[in-house]
Amino acid sequence: MENLFEQLLNGLRSGSIYALIALGYTMVYGIAKMINFAHGDIIMVGAYTLYVSMEIYHLSAVMAVIVSVIVCAILGILIEKIAYKPLRNAPSLAVLITAIGMSYLLQNLSLLIFKANPIKFRSIIQIASIHIGTITITGTTMVTLVVTIIAMFLLALFIKKTKVGSAMRAISEDKEAASLMGINVNQTISITFAIGSALAAIAGVLYVCQYQTLLPTMGALPGIKAFVAAVLGGIGNVPGAMLGGVLLGIIESLSKAYINSQVADAIVFGILVIVLLVKPSGLLGISRIEKV
């Protein structure tokens, strides 16, 4: 029983990181109707920015986190302006290829700057683990869960209550109509990319605190898993991305723990296939009839 509880916590921790990243995928898809495959690499940029600001510029941990969030947000806006905006009316395949290209560009730039060797980075979260009976809850797990819950809560509030939030919802419903109603589409899309990238930066910081290693390709695998989570929850749907991420983490952890650690990934992706067969729009997605 204790075992199960601890495994659930393991799953929740990695799941909440997936969820943070999945939010970026889903928000961008909801508004710009594109899969931003470079999103996973924003995590890497966030983690390296943290490293550079702490190790080279000797900023405090809090300042370094703020810097990496800002850097990623700006990077997100720039990527959209430079690579995606000119293609807004192009076929979706062209945008997809551009996004993949952007992902490789980011990876290779960091390979060029930081070299391929892994860099060890000591976690900025130095909170002692809590022991309850035989259960151990690590400091990183607690911080990850708290940060994720706060971030999601703020995001939900932002989308529901603010003017920009309702502009986002309006654009995701119907871009043309929204622009006719006087909503600044370009600005709203920029804000969406900024928020998504800022969340990815936070995920990157949490990720590097957990695993304490920096690699130019570190964003690839969590990026793919988060994309799966977004699709699982119903891409374009914000609560769906949260649910999908957490579910994915838990399924991964439990299948490693109780079925077989060798086939955990196969199970995770197998579940995705089954969900999509039964409900193609994802768990919380609403299937819409395409207007022609």
Partner 1 sequence: MRKSKLISVVVVVLLCLGLLSGCSTKQSSESKGKFVIGGLGPLSGSTAAYGTSVKRGAEIAIKEINDAGGMKIGDKKIKLELNFQDDEASEETVVSAYDTLMDQGIDALLGTVTSGACLAIVDKTHEDGILQITPSGSALKCTKNDNNFRLCFTDPLQGEMMAELAVKQLGYKNIAVIFNTSDEYSTGMKDAFINKVKELGGNIVISEAFVKDDVDFTTQLTKIKNSNAECIFVPTYYTEASYITAQAKEKGMNLPFLGGDGWDGILDNVTDKSSIEGAIFLSPFFASDPDEAVRKFVTQFKKEYKTTPNQFAADGYDTVYVMKAAAEKAGSTKSSDMIAAMTKIKVKGITGEVTFSKNGEPTKSAKYVEIKDGKYTSKK
CA distance 141 to 33: 33
- Number of alpha carbons in the 13 Å side-chain half-sphere of residue 45: 29
> Between 202 and 241, how does the x/- string for binding to partner 1 read (CB under 8 A)?
--------xxxx-x-----x--------------------
**Cα 100–Cα 102–Cα 106 angle in degrees, nearest 5:** 120
Q: Is 120 in the site for partner 1 (CB under 8 A)?
A: yes
Token pair in block for residue 258: 């109780």
Contact 254, 11 (CB under 8 A): yes
Q: Is 267 in the site for partner 1 (CB under 8 A)?
A: no
**Residue 137 main-chain phi, psi, to 5 deg:** -110, 115
CA distance 90 to 107: 25
Question: Which has the closest alpha carbon to 99: 24, 42, 38, 43?
Answer: 38
Q: Site residues for partner 1, window 138-177 (CB under 8 A)?
A: 138-140
Q: What's the Cα-to-Cα distance from 110 to each of 10, 133, 224, rounded to whole Å?
A: 30, 44, 19
Q: Which is nearer to partner 1, 6 or 41 (CB)?
A: 6
Contact 35, 99 (CB under 8 A): yes
CB of residue 138 to partner 1, shortest distance in Å: 5
Q: Is 133 in the site for partner 1 (CB under 8 A)?
A: no
CB of residue 259 to partner 1, shortest distance in Å: 11
CA distance 35 to 146: 28
Q: Which is nearer to partner 1, 8 or 164 (CB)?
A: 8
**Cα 238–Cα 38–Cα 144 angle in degrees, nearest 5:** 55
The CA R_g of the chain, rounded to the nearest whole Å, is: 19
Size of the site for partner 1 (CB under 8 A): 37
Q: Which is nearer to partner 1, 184 or 217 (CB)?
A: 217
Give the strand pairing for 119-120 and 213-214: antiparallel
Interacting residue with partner 1 among 144, 200, 238, 256 (CB under 8 A): 256
Interacting residue with partner 1 among 70, 123, 145, 269 (CB under 8 A): 123
Q: Choose the stretch contacting partner 1; rule: CB under 8 A; options: 174-182, 188-196, 231-239, 253-261.
A: 253-261
CB of residue 72 to partner 1, shortest distance in Å: 21
Q: Choose the stretch contacting partner 1; rule: CB under 8 A; options: 4-12, 144-152, 173-181, 228-236.
A: 4-12
CB of residue 68 to partner 1, shortest distance in Å: 19
Q: Which is nearer to partner 1, 85 or 122 (CB)?
A: 122
Q: Is 6 in the site for partner 1 (CB under 8 A)?
A: yes
Residue the block writes with tokens 């022991």: 131
Q: Is 132 in the site for partner 1 (CB under 8 A)?
A: no
Binding residues for partner 1, rule: CB under 8 A, are 2-3, 6-7, 10-11, 13-14, 115-118, 120-123, 129, 131, 134, 136, 138-140, 210-213, 215, 221, 252-253, 256-257, 260-262, 265
